[in-house]
Amino acid sequence: MITLKLFHNDDCIGIITNVAPEDLSEWSGDIELTDKAKEYKEVFDYLADEDNVYDDGTEMPFSEAYLDNWSLVDESGIRRTDIAYPEMLSLG
């Protein structure tokens, strides 16, 4: 089983297990959030809300810096920086 760590900059947001491809560019999995993830609640709630359109130039209620510098670190320590921000992560 693959285990990945989700980072924003140097903040570990969560540990991802049960990783599975959805299509050629999207993957899914189960995430166990870290305490640091609580600081991202507003961001994740906004991005997970399908009523919000955030790619049409509409100003978001948080800094756009939250959309950059996401990465995954695999079990061997290799950091993959070619990922986008997690869109469907909700902290409930």
User: Tell me: the pLDDT tens digits for 21-50?
Assistant: 887 777 788 999 999 999 988 888 888 887
18 found inside a domain:
yes
Residue 85 counted as domain residue: no
Number of domains in the chain: 1
Q: Which two tokens stand for residue 36?
A: 């640091």
Global pTM reads 0.80
Note whether residue 38 is domain-resident: yes
Is there a domain that residue 50 lies in? yes
Q: Give a yes or no: residue 91 inside a domain.
A: no
Secondary structure (DSSP) of the chain: ---EEEEETTEEEEEEEEEEESSSS-EEEEEEE-GGGGGGHHHHHHHH-TT---SSSPPPSS-GGGGS-EEEE-TT--EE---PPPSS----
> Domain span at residue 39?
4-80
Whether residue 88 has pLDDT greater than 60: no
**Does some domain include residue 88?**
no
- Domain assignment present for residue 60? The answer is yes
Pick from 22, 4, 26: nearest CA to 84: 26
* Cα four-point dihedral sign 12, 90, 83, 23: positive
pLDDT at residue 53 tops 80: no
